[in-house]
Amino acid sequence: MEEWIMMNDETKQVVGQRILVANSFFRRLKGLMFQKSFGEYDGLLLTQTKQIHMFWMRFPLDVVYLKRIGKKEEDWIFQIVDLHENMKPWTMGKWVSQATDVLEVKAGWIREQKIRKGNLLRVNKLS
């Protein structure tokens, strides 16, 4: 899987050093199922996704629903269209029609990073 770095476009602070990208049907379907933790990664970006499930998950997540709004040079720009803090295992996420992608991160990340609906996130593929 590809790895990306993510920053808050407004504050210019890095909010994710190593974000995995699930950009195929199988990778999106599997996601983080059966994993005990994120391990060395900060998050998982599920492309072309409007809803997630937490079946076979072992730990809670913060979920960030994103709308891809453009590209500047090598960076993708996303706007946050919805948030779900501390989503529990074995639950179903909401369907967010405006979302193009979904970011799964460690529970507590939204508060730690002071992420808000409407914020812009910039991601760039690590070399």
Q: pLDDT, tens digit, for every residue of 62-97? A: 999 999 998 766 788 999 999 999 999 999 999 999
Write out pLDDT tens, residues 3-36.
888 899 888 898 888 888 887 666 766 666 556 6
Q: Among 6, 12, 11, which Cα is nearest to 78's? A: 6
Q: Judge whether 27 and 37 are in contact, CB under 8 Å.
A: no
CA 31 to chain centre: 11
Residues constituting the chain: 127
Q: Is the pTM of this model over 0.85?
A: yes
Give the residues across from 7 on adjacent strands: 14, 122
Q: What domains can be seen in the chain, in order of their start residue?
A: 2-125 (2.60.120.1140)
Q: Beta strand 101-106 with 75-87: parallel, antiparallel or unpaired? A: unpaired
Residue for token digits 């950009």?
Answer: 23
